[in-house]
Amino acid sequence: MTPTTPGTRSKSDLDLADTLGHELVRLVRLVNRAKSQVSKQGPDGIERAAYAILFCLIHVGPQRTSKLAEFLHSEISTISRQSSSLVQHGLVERLADPEDGRACLLAPTAEGLRVFEENRKQRNQWLAEVLGDWSDDDRKTLNSLFHRLNDDLEKTSPQFADPASASKAKGA
């Protein structure tokens, strides 16, 4: 495959990308439907959205609220409210930031790890059921391709044309 500059993809490439885009939108919609079927509050009284904070802290390590907001593409006030709930429920703790004693880091507690693992087990049970009729090779291929897609999405920012420059290019 030869590298191309942005905006010079073939019709076939763009058609395949359109199909993928459709399937990704469908995937997000189905995942959101599944999430809505599970109550907005988990069995431990925590908002489902707050689990993203717990996930991040477990996988990335202790973080400041501002870094979590950046990582999760959320407002600091939202992260602050949700992390306060996690702290109140004993799932997250505040630690002094070794780089700046005035700031604090959020870190998962042992109970936070336990709750996270319980939720992970439930998710894995559901996904195993969804993929139950798939061959081992198909499941391995899916995992490999999703991993590759996520890696490429992480390192490639969308490059959408600036509407003003598009108008100028058309002579408007």
Percent of the chain with pLDDT over 90: 59
**Which of residues 154 and 164 earns the better pLDDT score?**
154
Q: At which residue do the structure tokens 């990704």 appear?
A: 24
End-to-end CA gap in the chain: 36
Identify which of 168, 161, 172, 170 has the alpha carbon closest to the alpha carbon of residue 6: 161
For 40-135, CATH number out of 3.40.50.11900, 3.40.718.10, 1.20.140.10, 1.10.10.10 equals: 1.10.10.10
Asked whether residue 71 carries a pLDDT value surpassing 50, the answer given is: yes
**Which of residues 102 and 145 earns the better pLDDT score?**
145
Q: What is the pLDDT of residue 123?
A: 86
Identify which of 62, 69, 58, 64 has the alpha carbon closest to the alpha carbon of residue 120: 58
Evaluate whether 85 touches 47 at the Cβ level (below 8 Å).
Answer: yes
Asked whether residue 60 carries a pLDDT value surpassing 90, the answer given is: yes
* Cα 51 from Cα 89, distance rounded (Å): 12
Percent of the chain with pLDDT over 70: 84
Q: What is the pLDDT of residue 36?
A: 74
Instruction: Report the predicted TM-score, pTM, of the whole model to 2 decimal places.
Output: 0.71
Structural domain boundaries in the chain: 40-135
Q: What is the pLDDT of residue 26?
A: 94
**CA angle, corner 19, sides to 14 and 25, nearest 5?**
120
> Tell me: the pLDDT tens digits for 101-140?
788 999 999 999 998 898 889 889 999 999 999 999 999 9
